[in-house]
Amino acid sequence: MNQNQTIFIIDAGNSFLKVGVFRDQKLEKVIRIGYEDLISYADLLNKVESKVVFISSVLSENETNKLIDIYPQSILLNKTCLFPILIKYETPESLGLDRICNSVASHFLCKGKNTVSIDIGTCIKFDFTDKNGNYHGGSISPGINLRYKSMNDYTGKLPLIKDRLTSNLIGGNTLNSMRSGVINGIKAEIDQFIHLYSQQYQDLTFFVTGGDAVYFDFPLKNNIFVDENLTLKGLHQIYLVNAK
């Protein structure tokens, strides 16, 4: 493997492409590209001759193929790849690759300790990996949008909220009551999960990531780190294992 080679790590999420540019095994920059602007994606890849493109995608097969068509030499992450952690999940065939990537990154960044990755996005996902690199699983619950949408879908009068505004504990109107239930409820859920994990495991480090993580404050403790590029770093580690 050429250490000086430029490696494009692509996290194709539901809303946009997140492109991590790695050189000498270091993350140099991160670029976000909307799916309506794939010309910019093609231009980015064509700028560098010596490159590897490694993609993780939650998109449909057809949409993923459109990305690969832009750069046919792309390598697509799948569950036949080698992973630098041991998956002990009871149903590995149903395990999301994003959860694996976050767990790989957490273990790599904090070897020798138990780790929990907390991904706050479409869903809120906790994933536990022990200090020996064994991934055990975690929890999944609805994120902000899903909670707001479910209240609108399954009631007759509650409106659909699309903002991320916070609210006091006691909402003085219907909108703020819904905001309090969702935003303050998620914060309480996360805090309680952190408390429960901390009670059960020693030498535990938490890594927080995901597009909605910015809407929550976390305790200023030396075992809780916020890393918006956790998934990209995990993808990069998986690529390195498979490139050997």
Tell me the Ramachandran region of residue 93: left when phi exceeds 0, alpha when psi lies from -120 to 50, beta otherwise: alpha
- Within a 13 Å sphere around the CA of 3, how many CA atoms are in the beta-carbon half? 3
- Report pLDDT for 58: 86
| pLDDT of residue 237 exceeding 80 | yes
Q: Give the whole-number percent of the chain exceeding pLDDT 90.
A: 77
Q: Kindly report, residue by residue over 197-224, the tens digit of the pLDDT.
A: 999 999 999 999 999 999 998 877 779 9
Q: Which class is 86-144+175-229 in CATH?
A: alpha beta
Beta strands in the chain (DSSP E): 6-12, 16-23, 26-34, 51-57, 75-76, 86-87, 114-120, 123-129, 134-142, 204-209, 224-226
Mean pLDDT of 169-184: 97
User: In 71-87, which positions are buried (b, 16+ CB within 10 angstroms) versus exposed (e)?
Assistant: beebebbeeebebebeb
Q: Kindly report, residue by residue over 13-28, the tens digit of the pLDDT.
A: 888 899 999 998 899 9
| pLDDT of residue 3 exceeding 60 | no
Active-site pick, 98, 119, 127, 130: 98
| Pairing mode of beta strands 86-87, 75-76 | unpaired
- Report pLDDT for 148: 98
Q: How far apart are CA 24 and CA 43, in angstroms?
A: 22
| pLDDT of residue 4 exceeding 70 | no
| pLDDT of residue 2 exceeding 60 | no
pTM of the model: 0.92
- Report pLDDT for 14: 80
Residue 145 in 3-state DSSP? helix
3-state SS of the chain: helix, strand, coil percent to 5? 40, 25, 35
Tokens matching residue 144? 């902000």
- Report pLDDT for 133: 97
Tell me if domain 6-76 and domain 86-144+175-229 are identical in fold.
yes
Q: How far apart are CA 30 and CA 102, in angstroms?
A: 17
Query: C-alpha angle 85/71/105, rounded to 5°?
Result: 20
Q: Kindly report, residue by residue over 118-162, the tens digit of the pLDDT.
A: 999 999 999 999 999 999 999 999 999 999 999 999 999 999 999
Is 98 designated active site?
Answer: yes
Give domain 6-76's CATH superfamily. Answer: ATPase, nucleotide binding domain (3.30.420.40)
CB 216 within 8 A of CB 125: no
- 27 has which bridge partners? 22
- Report pLDDT for 1: 54
Q: How far apart are CA 37 and CA 34, in angstroms?
A: 5
Residue ranges per structural domain of the chain: 6-76, 86-144+175-229
Tokens matching residue 5? 């080679």
